[in-house]
Structure 1
Amino acid sequence: MDGTPELDVCIDGADEVDEHFTLIKGGGGCLAREKIVQHAAQKFFVIADSSKESTQLGEHYGYIPIEVLPFAASSVLRSLPRTEGGTAQLRMAVKKCGPVLTDNNNYIIDWTFEKNKPRDWKEIQLRIANTPGVVETGLFIGVVDKVYFAYPDGNVKEIDARKKH
């Protein structure tokens, strides 16, 4: 991004998209950089299979990834359930010993939240992001322009999020 501070378009996937176009991203371990790229783009399009479409977050994806500085991981693990409820755990690597590292060499904490409960995701994002040691969350709120959902029968549903708001 150093040489290209502005992009025409960012096209990416999502782990879950709710009816208000709030996204959970970062299941693959890239959080802060994905948000930086999205922020640099004039337009943001999301492409996902229909299993990622939900009425409210948590229907299909069980947690919010949170990128944290390694030094702060234990502190965030303790404070997150106290401030937001649910549970938090450090994401451990599968093919190596130790925690998963982001592309910035930070850790990922997966926050599992209570399902079927109305939430103000903007407020939650703000509180979590202001926790010392948190780099970024996997919540993308109010930033998507269009979403494309692909269905098993080959059909694609296009939703213009800017017209829905």
Structure 2
Amino acid sequence: MATIEAGKKLAAYKAVDDHITADCKVIGIGSGSTVVYVVERILQKPELANLVYIPTSFQSKLLIIEGGLTLGSIEQYPDIDVTIDGADEVDPQLNAIKGGGACQFQEKVVAEAAKKFVIVADYRKKSTKLGVEWTKGVPIEVVPMAYKLVMRSLESKLTVQQPLESKLRMAINKAGPVVTDNGNFVIDAHFGAIERPACLLKELKGLTGVYEVGLFCNMAQIAYFGEADGNVSTLV
């Protein structure tokens, strides 16, 4: 685990060094364990203190506030220079699965608003195809009243690829399902190796009751991976 954390830190530091400069005005800050190191690196650079930072979750909001950085919102700043975020899995075409932390909607909004979307992760997140390494499923945020309808639609209405398993994500430390920041539920649908992620995303988004899908296709420009040997690799 020490090696993995060291890799995350190196990847996050390099992403900040390469893409966030004093010439930027607005930065998107993603969610997850790797993003802690992104903020850590930003705080080491005094020239970045006056930029505005947009969070994708309560976690990243706290990181921004506790670091003494300027907190902004997507309503105030719809044009973002760079967004840096983690990922649960990344394929060779820079398609990604995100939403393991159940905030894929906010993550996608902030990523799409950015001129440049950068992924940081450790080597375990690299995959030949989405759904191979990350087997917990594609996170699908759904309106609560429609979750059973969506579950049924996943089994009967998809033509691109059928799920091997779909389940409502349940909370760990309390009874009942996970509830997102938007008051919705999350269905995790495992498809195995996803052959056409962009086509699957389009079809999933078309199902009634679906709020957002944790497939990020044709969005990232570059990904940084902390390797087991202490080096950082990139994918463009």
Q: TM-score, normalised by structure 2?
A: 0.65
Pick aligned residue for 2:175 from 90, 97, 105: 97
Partner secondary structure for residue 60 of structure 1:
coil
Pick aligned residue for 1:68 from 142, 163, 166: 142
Partner secondary structure for residue 33 of structure 1:
helix
Specify the structure having the higher radius of gyration (Cα): 2
Which residue in the other structure is 2:188 paired with?
110
Gaps of 5+ in 1: none
Number of positions where the alignment pairs a residue of Structure 1 with one of Structure 2: 158
Identity %: 43
1:158 positional shift: 1.8
Kindly indicate whether the alpha-carbon contact (under 8 Å) linking 2:169 and 2:185 is maintained by their aligned counterparts in 1: yes
Distance, in Å, in 1 between the alignment partners of 2:197 and 2:155 is 16
Letter in 2 for 1:97: A
After superposition, where does 1:68-147 map in structure 2 within 5 Å? 68-82=142-156, 83=158, 84-85=161-162, 86-115=164-193, 119-147=195-223
Partner secondary structure for residue 192 of structure 2:
coil
The reply to whether residue 44 of structure 1 matches residue 117 of structure 2 is yes
Distance, in Å, in 2 between the alignment partners of 1:47 and 1:92 is 27
More strand by share: 1
Aligned residues: CA RMSD: 1.1
Gaps of 5+ in 2: 1-73
The reply to whether residue 20 of structure 1 matches residue 83 of structure 2 is no
**RCO higher in 1 or 2 (8 Å CA, sep ≥ 6)?**
1
Large movers: runs of 4+ above 4 Å: none
Q: TM-score, normalised by structure 1?
A: 0.92
